[in-house]
Amino acid sequence: MLYLACMTIPCGTIIMRWLSYLFAPLAFATFGYAVVGPGTVTGNTAVHDPTICKDSSGKYFVFSTAVGIEIRTSTDRIAWTLVGKVWPNGASWTDQYTGTSNGNLWAPDCTYLNGQFYLYYAASSFGSQNSAIFFAKSSTGLPGSWTNEGLVTSTSSSNNYNAIDPNLLIDNGKWLLSLGSFWTGIKSMTLSSSTGKPSSTTVTSLAQRTANGGAIEASVVFKNGNFYYLFSSWDNCCQGTSSTYNIRVGRSSSPTGGFVDQSGVALTSGGGTLVLGTHDSIVGPGGQDLLLDNDGPILVYHYYTPSGSFLGINRLDFSSGWPVVV
C-alpha cells in the first residue's frame, strides 16, 4: 500500500500522514483531549445550555435555555422526561432585558444544597450588554414551586463585561458567582450566602480572549482535589451544524484567579486547554455544567446535529491532574 501510494504522492508526505494517525491518540491523551461520544441518554433530550443537579432522593434535574426555562428529570441520568417550566406563566421582570414579552431565558445554573434548589439564570438578547442575572429558589425543583428572588446583577453598554451565563461555586461556605460573555471575558463576584446576591461591588477577572472577537463564555468553576478548574465555551454558538463551540479548561489553586492552561498560558491571556470539540457527528459541544456524582465528576453540555441541539453527558477523569472525557 505504501509503495503504491508513493507512486502518486511523495513518500515523505505519506509517511508523515501515517505517523500522524499513529500518534494522534497519544497527542489527545497528552493534552487532555479525548474524542469520545456522549453517553447514552434517552427520552426528551432536545436541550440548550443544560445545567444539572441532584436532589436528596437521587432524582436528577436538568434545566435549560427556553422561554420560562425548561425542566427535565431522570432517576438514572439516562432517561429524561420534560416536566414543565420554572416560570410557566412567564417572567415579566426579565422583559426589559430580553427586549420582548416572555422571551428566552438563558443558561440557567442549578445548585442543590440542604433541601433547597438555587437557580441563577440570565436575560438578554444576542450581542447586547443590556443583560441581567436573576435568582430563584425551590424546595422541589418542579414547575410551580419556584419563588422569584429578583435581580442579582446587570450590565449595560457602560460596562466592559456582560452579565450572562452565571455559575455558582460554594466553597467552604463562601459563595462565588462566575459570569460573562465576550467583551473582557469571564468575571467573578462574591455573593452573600444568606441573600444569594452580591456582598460587594468588586468584580474580578478570571479569563479573557482576543481571538475570534473575544469569544469566551459559559464559565464553570469546579473544585477537584487541590485545584479549581475553570471550564468555558470558546468560539461560536447557536448556529446549528455551523457552530464552532468547544469546551476549554484551565486550573488554579484559587477560585478567584491565577488560572493557567496545561501549557502554562494564563487564561487571562487567552489560554485554554481543549477538553471537547467537534468530532464525528457531534458538532459544537458547549454550554457546559459539572456535577460531582457517585461515580465521579459528570460533564453535561449541548451539541448540534442536523435535527437540533441535544444533551450530552460524559464522565470526566481527573487522574492526570487535567480533565479527560471518558
What residues act catalytically?
Answer: 49, 217
| Closest-CA residue to 234 (of 294, 186, 191) | 186
Q: Which three cell numbers mark 121?
A: 439564570
Residue 279 to residues 35, 123, 237, 282, 316, Cα–Cα distance (Å): 7, 31, 16, 5, 17
**Which of 323, 271, 263, 267 lies closest to 298 in space, CA to CA?**
323
DSSP codes, 36-75: -PPPP-EES---SS-EEEE-TTS-EEEEESEET-EEEEES
Cell numbers linked to 316:
470526566
Which run of H or E residues covers position 27? helix 11-30
- Distance of alpha carbon 311 from its chain centroid, rounded? 12
Q: Measured on CA atoms in the order 192, 193, 197, 203, is the torsion positive or negative?
A: positive
Cell 443544560 locates to: 50
Cross-sheet strand order for the sheet of 167-171: 167-171, 174-179, 186-191, 204-207
Strand ranges across the sheet with 324-325: 283-293, 296-305, 308-317, 324-325
DSSP assignment of 147-180, as one string? EEEEEEEEE-TTSSS---S-EEEEETTEEEEEE-
